[in-house]
């Protein structure tokens, strides 16, 4: 079977909307309802964050969601159970994203196997060093899991090429030298950076994340990239939601309008 992410990105004619949210937030068992609502609302890919006590690459919104999710009792083990159930109900590709330490304690190889068995299609582990990955590459490939690495505006072209060679599925292009968080619009420097990335003609498509918050930033990102990833502003939206389904439908509509 082909990897769902690869399939999505090679077949789609329109930009891809990937939505990130933290597992177990705002309530422990919301993970599934959010995934189902996102599919119904027209999202193309979902990224579920594994909460961690010390999320150094994240801004205040995602930090707060991590803290709440852990207080709610979220664990890697529980998340994999939730994903198994989600997979039986939706067709969208599912990516798990998380800091390395919880994965290490679960057991890196065991995590890859169990994630694949649960129906996960891809992984993003932002603090897994590039040089540590080759030892797992054969395993993730055999499990049909894509592994996406991040690049930022300060990443050199030589390193981008190296990251492209080790990534599968897509490359996660961080829009600015920053932690996660919503921004109103992208600057001309950022737009030039996206354009430069496109001109590199990498073997993987790239999705732009960090700072996507509204239809403007979404459209700006999609001008040059295969799609965009929205996280903080989505989490803001659902953190106080009384009706997840309605709010999520509206959120997706407002972005892609």
Q: Could you confirm whether 47 is annotated as catalytic?
A: yes
DSSP string, 127-185: TS-GGGSHHHHHHHHHTT-EE--EE-TTS-HHHHHHHHHH--S-EEEESSSS-S-B-S-
Question: How far is Cα of residue 136 from the mean position of the Cα atoms in its chain?
Answer: 20
Least distance from other proteins to the Cβ atom of residue 234, Å: 20
* Only segment of 5-13, 95-103, 189-197, 229-237 that touches other proteins (CB under 8 A): 95-103
Report the 10 Å Cβ neighbour count for 216: 14
Contacts with other proteins in 51-90 (CB under 8 A)? 52-60, 63, 67, 70, 75-77
CA dihedral 103, 152, 210, 109 (to 10 degrees): -10
Q: Could you confirm whether 32 is annotated as catalytic?
A: no
Q: Which residue has the tokens 């060679």?
A: 165
Least distance from other proteins to the Cβ atom of residue 164, Å: 13
Least distance from other proteins to the Cβ atom of residue 100, Å: 5
105 part of the interface to other proteins, by CB under 8 A: yes
174 part of the interface to other proteins, by CB under 8 A: yes
Q: Measured between alpha carbons, how far is 111 from 109 in angstroms, rounded to an integer?
A: 5
**Which residues are the active-site residues?**
47, 58
Binding residues for other proteins, rule: CB under 8 A, are 52-60, 63, 67, 70, 75-77, 99-106, 126-129, 131-132, 149-152, 154-156, 159, 163, 174, 177-179
């Amino acid at each position: 079977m082909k990897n769902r992410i690869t399939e999505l990105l090679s077949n789609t004619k329109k930009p891809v909307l990937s939505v990130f949210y933290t597992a177990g937030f705002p309530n422990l068992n919301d993970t599934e309802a959010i995934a189902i609502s996102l599919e119904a609302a027209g999202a193309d890919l979902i990224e579920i964050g594994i909460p961690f006590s010390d999320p150094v690459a994240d801004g205040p919104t995602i930090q707060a969601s991590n803290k709440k999710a852990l207080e709610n009792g979220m664990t890697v083990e529980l998340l994999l159970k939730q994903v198994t159930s989600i997979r039986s109900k939706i067709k969208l590709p599912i990516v798990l994203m998380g800091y390395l330490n919880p994965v290490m304690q679960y057991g890196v190889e065991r995590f890859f196997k169990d994630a694949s068995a649960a129906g996960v299609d891809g992984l993003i582990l932002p603090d897994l060093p590039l040089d540590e990955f080759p030892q797992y590459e054969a395993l993730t490939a055999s499990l049909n899991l894509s592994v996406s690495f991040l690049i930022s505006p300060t990443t050199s072209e030589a390193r981008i090429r190296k990251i492209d060679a080790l990534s599968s599925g897509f490359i996660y292009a961080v829009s600015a030298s920053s932690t996660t968080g919503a921004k109103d619009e992208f600057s001309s420097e950022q737009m030039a950076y996206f354009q430069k990335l496109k001109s590199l003609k990498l073997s993987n498509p790239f999705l732009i994340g960090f700072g996507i918050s509204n239809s403007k930033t979404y459209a700006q990102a999609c001008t040059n990239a295969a799609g965009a990833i929205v996280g903080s502003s989505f989490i803001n939206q659902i953190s106080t939601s009384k009706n997840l389904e309605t709010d999520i439908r509206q959120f997706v509509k407002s972005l892609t309008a």
